[in-house]
Amino acid sequence: MNVVDQLIDAGRRLVASGLSPGSSGNISARDGDRIFVTGTGVSLGQLASTDFAVVSISGEYLGGARASKETPLHVGFYRRDEEHQAVVHLHSPQAVAMSCRVPWAENSAIPPLTPYFVMRVGQTPLLPYRHPGDEALGEDIHSAPWPLRAALLANHGSVVAGTSVHDAVDRAEELEEACRIALITDGAARRELTVQQVRELADRWESPWTGPS
């Protein structure tokens, strides 16, 4: 299955999961030295092969549909690490709600409540608010001082990178679940994973986690 077909399937999955309301969100994948990214104003559940823009690794428009204004977010992850082969940006309800809250810690807006969040996603910092489409969002991703493969954008949503389209979608779904669990346990006498437990998980699964737990 080529990259575009993988993205079309991913868009349908994200909409079916309730993570991409309306025409919100955008997804992309790297194909050699090109990036295929969803065009502006298109529902992820109704993607066709003509709904993708092609840009360079530096973000230069090369052809296809009109690129989403959020393309700099995607480019920031691709510039950061060659391991990142796909990026998912969503306005999913739980992640948006979490992005409106004070972060748990500097390195991660979300506390380590489950092993799956640490294993599959890793620390997820809250990046500063910028208006949607601000090119500086991409630089925030590219230059963030922590190892990461996911971030929350303040008062906006989430952005997640993966080693493949399937991997990026899996991580985006896990991040949404981690946000949901954090929100429904907020204010309770909850039990977070210990420093040692987080470290063991992060080391075993090679997931990014450098801060407190």
Q: Which of 82, 116, 129, 139 is catalytic?
A: 116
70 included as an active-site residue: yes
Q: What is the 3-state secondary structure (H, E, C) of the chain?
A: CCHHHHHHHHHHHHHHCCCCCCCCCEEEEEECCEEEEEECCCCHHHCCHHHEEEEECCCCEEEECCECCCHHHHHHHHHHCCCCCEEEEECCHHHHHHHCCCCCCCCCCCCCCCHHHHHHCCCCCEECCCCCCCCHHHHHHHHCCCCCCEEEECCCEEEEEECCHHHHHHHHHHHHHHHHHHHHCCCCCCCCCCHHHHHHHHHHHCCCCCCCC
Q: Which of 60, 61, 70, 82 is catalytic?
A: 70
129 included as an active-site residue: no
For the annotated catalytic residues, the residue numbers are 70, 116
